[in-house]
């Protein structure tokens, strides 16, 4: 029997009784063999097997018949016990004596050295085989970027390397707490397995600990949830990406306990490390491909002409909208300099200016003119941006919007505006002349002898005409309207006269509705103020007209108040 120190198990590569060879077995280190290993001395049992077995904690029978006598000798190399040689007789007591013990000790000394040398050779060969396996798996993984194919490759390589009855590759999906068995092999074939919840099963235990798990005896499985047929030996290692466990690789033996050792654990962990990197690369590649396809789809369906160029401005991608706008198919455009496609025989200086601006500012945008394949010009809004990969300039992205209709509409609007301005300029004299006549005749009327009531009416007409003339001046000054502002004058005027003038204009309408008009000016209000009298009267007229319009009965009052601001001026409020 050979002792495996890391697992604490005793492996029996050779057992024979009455000429019959027993299968190899693995057990825990107990009983007589444990005593011999710990003392590193022989144990001779001439009789009384049953009592001694009970005393040493040894099973009465491991295999075959119960012995009558036995001899146990340790295999020792450099003071370290590496195993046990046992001779047993199932027919008679006192089958072995001190001479047999000395002879077997001598043989064990030579055998220990030979076995240790063989072990070293085996381990060396095993390490070479492991390195070969890791190398072949690494080479296979490095060339595989499809995630499903990669998982299949890993599963098959692991199963063949460890000659496992069961092999699986499980991936943990944190989003839904599911563990997916992307690869599961049992009983000579691939078998689909339903996902399981992350919890108390062996796979979850490995994911939590991020450490390998080696179970070499069936009783180690008690209370542990597992997948598939219960196994007698289980080895599982985490697939790590950085410090995070994203999955588990496991190999199992259904028939044999002690099937896997620490060397197997190290090998599988090394493979899993390569798999972690490969899965990460595959996922990144898949995401990049998804983003690329998404971006390509956006470019394909974009209503704008999108052109991708290399650093020399040769076309790499030419979407359908570009083909429609400029008349060149993608096959005709790709590989050619973009200026050959969009400038025709015209000067290309402006194109070079756009490129220089994009490189200098990070983006160039303007409305300009380009040329179609048939030679016709097309107005476009162009945006050109440089492309970079890992900080290095890799090309350009050009986006062209056809603004021909927009430019035409703009030109038509400008023409309409000019026509309107010309019309108003032409009509200015025609509108001003009768209004000036009304104001002039009112001035003459006020110079004649009038009754008090007639004079009041004439003054209202004169004031209203003057206010209307100011409004007409503003309307005719169309440039001010287009600019969205009117200039305000700053001239001294009498506030009371301005308010009463506005009241006089709306008085006839108020009298018709039998509504009283009134004005209350507080004493603190200064009589003379500086401002634009015409604009203020216009605002008051708007307010008073609406007040009279929407008042059915009662009165409409104008309230004027003022307060000093402390800077020598007043704040005037009208309501």
One fold for 2-127 and 144-286: yes
Tell me the angle at which helices 533-550 and 452-476 cross, rounded to the nearest 10 degrees: 110
Q: Is the pLDDT of residue 479 over 70?
A: no
- Asked whether 226 and 219 are in contact (CB, 8 A), the reply is no
- pLDDT band with cut points at 50, 70 and 90 for residue 482: low
The full set of domain ranges for the chain reads 2-127, 144-286, 302-402, 488-575
Give the pTM.
0.44
The set of residues, in sequence order, having a beta carbon less than 8 Å from that of 246 and lying 6+ positions away, is: 171, 172, 239, 240, 276, 279
Q: What is the mean pLDDT of residues 306-326?
A: 91
Terminal-residue alpha carbon distance, the chain: 113
Q: What is the mean pLDDT of residues 467-495?
A: 68
- pLDDT band with cut points at 50, 70 and 90 for residue 138: low
**Span 2-127 CATH architecture:** 2-Layer Sandwich (3.30)
> For a pLDDT cut of 90, what percent of the chain falls above it?
27
Q: Is the pLDDT of residue 522 over 60?
A: yes
Kindly report the CATH class assigned to 488-575.
Answer: alpha beta
pLDDT at residue 44, as a whole number: 94
Maximum mean pLDDT: which of 40-54, 389-403, 406-420: 40-54
The helix (H) or strand (E) run that includes residue 112 is helix 98-142
CATH T-level assignment (fold) for domain 302-402: Beta-Lactamase (3.30.450)
CATH T-level assignment (fold) for domain 144-286: Beta-Lactamase (3.30.450)
The set of residues, in sequence order, having a beta carbon less than 8 Å from that of 537 and lying 6+ positions away, is: 467, 498, 501, 502
Q: How do residues 406-432 score in pLDDT, each as one tens digit?
A: 778 777 877 777 777 667 666 665 666
DSSP secondary structure code for residue 163 in this structure: T
Q: Is the pLDDT of residue 133 over 70?
A: no
């Amino acid at each position: 029997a050979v002792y495996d120190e890391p697992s604490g198990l005793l492996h029996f590569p050779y057992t024979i009784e009455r000429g019959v060879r027993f299968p190899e077995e693995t057990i825990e280190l107990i009983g007589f063999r444990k005593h011999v290993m710990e003392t590193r001395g022989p144990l001779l049992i001439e009789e009384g097997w049953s009592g001694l077995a009970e005393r040493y904690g040894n099973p009465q029978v491991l295999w075959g018949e119960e012995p009558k006598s036995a001899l146990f000798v340790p295999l020792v190399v450099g003071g370290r016990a590496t195993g046990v040689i046992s001779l047993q007789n199932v027919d008679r007591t006192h089958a072995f004596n001190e001479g047999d013990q000395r002879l077997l000790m001598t043989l064990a000394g030579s055998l220990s050295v030979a076995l240790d040398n063989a072990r070293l050779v085996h381990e060396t060969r095993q390490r070479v085989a492991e390195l070969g396996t890791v190398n072949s798996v690494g080479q296979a993984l490095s060339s595989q970027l499809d995630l499903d194919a990669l998982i299949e490759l890993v599963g098959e390589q692991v199963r063949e390397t460890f000659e496992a009855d069961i092999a699986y590759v499980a991936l943990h999906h944190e989003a839904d707490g599911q563990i997916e068995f992307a690869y599961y092999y049992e009983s000579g074939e691939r078998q689909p397995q339903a996902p399981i919840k992350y919890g108390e099963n062996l796979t979850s235990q490995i994911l939590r600990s991020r450490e390998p798990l080696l179970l070499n005896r069936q009783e180690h499985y008690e209370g542990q949830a597992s997948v598939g047929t219960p196994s007698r030996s289980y080895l599982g290692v985490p697939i790590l990406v950085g410090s995070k466990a994203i999955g588990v690789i496991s190999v199992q033996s259904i028939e044999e306990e002690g099937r896997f050792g620490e060397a197997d654990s190290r090998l599988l962990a090394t493979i899993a490390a390569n798999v972690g990197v490969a899965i990460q690369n595959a996922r990144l590649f898949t995401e990049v491909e998804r983003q690329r396809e998404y971006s390509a789809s956006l470019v394909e369906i974009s209503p704008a002409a999108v052109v991708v160029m290399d650093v020399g401005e040769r076309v790499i991608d030419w979407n359908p909208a570009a083909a429609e706008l400029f008349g060149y198919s993608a096959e005709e455009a790709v590989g050619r300099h973009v200026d050959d496609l969009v400038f025709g025989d015209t000067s290309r200086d402006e194109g070079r200016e756009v490129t220089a601006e994009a490189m200098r500012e990070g983006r160039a945008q303007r409305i300009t003119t380009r040329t179609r394949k048939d030679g016709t010009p097309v107005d476009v809004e162009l945006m050109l941006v440089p492309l970079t990969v890992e900080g290095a300039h890799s090309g350009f992205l050009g986006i062209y919007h056809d603004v021909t209709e927009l430019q035409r509409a703009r030109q038509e609007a400008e023409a309409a505006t000019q026509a309107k301005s010309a019309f108003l300029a032409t009509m200015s004299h025609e509108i001003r002349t009768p209004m000036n006549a009304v104001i002039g005749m009112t001035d003459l009327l006020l110079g004649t002898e009038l009754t008090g009531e007639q004079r009041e009416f004439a003054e209202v007409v004169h004031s209203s005409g003057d206010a209307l003339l100011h409004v007409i001046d503003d309307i005719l000054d169309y440039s001010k309207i287009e600019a969205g502002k009117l200039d305000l004058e700053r001239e001294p005027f009498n506030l009371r006269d301005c308010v009463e003038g506005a009241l006089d204009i709306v008085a006839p309408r108020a009298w018709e509705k039998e509504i009283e008009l009134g004005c209350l000016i507080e004493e603190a209000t200064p009589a003379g103020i500086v401002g634009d009298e015409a604009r203020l009267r216009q605002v008051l007229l708007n307010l008073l007209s609406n007040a009279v319009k929407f008042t059915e009965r009662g009165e409409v009052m104008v309230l004027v108040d003022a307060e000093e601001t402390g800077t020598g001026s007043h704040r005037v409020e009208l309501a």
